[in-house]
Amino acid sequence: MLRDGDLTPSDMLNKLSISQPTLSHHLDILKRAGLIEGKRNGQFIEYTINLSVFEMAVEYMLKFIKNPKEPKL
């Protein structure tokens, strides 16, 4: 969803079939991993995807899939 633009948790909840605490938990995990960033806009927090970290993670996974015997970091 965040590929298409910034969203608030309320926007996400309107599109998902999960509870607010579950969404908050998952957003926290993604923030700690550096995959998303949250910025305050008034009383709301808008989340955006951190493409540079996401692209690095995908690149690493693709290298691992292509050559699984290569030493890991």
Instruction: Report pTM.
Output: 0.71
Residues in contact with 5: Cβ distance below 8 Å, sequence separation at least 6, in sequence order:
none
List of domains in the chain: 2-66 (1.10.10.10)
Residue 68: its pLDDT value, please? Answer: 62
Phi, psi of 67 (to 5 degrees): -140, 75
**C-alpha to C-alpha distance for 66 and 56, rounded to whole angstroms:** 15
**DSSP codes joined into one string, 19-38:** -HHHHHHHHHHHHHTTSEEE
What is the rounded (10 degree) CA torsion for 15, 18, 19, 22?
A: -110
Identify the pLDDT of residue 44.
93
pLDDT at 72: 60
Q: 11-70 pLDDT, tens per residue? A: 999 999 999 999 999 999 999 988 899 999 899 999 999 988 878 888 888 887 876 666
Task: Report residue 71's pLDDT band, with 50, 70 and 90 as the boundaries.
Answer: low
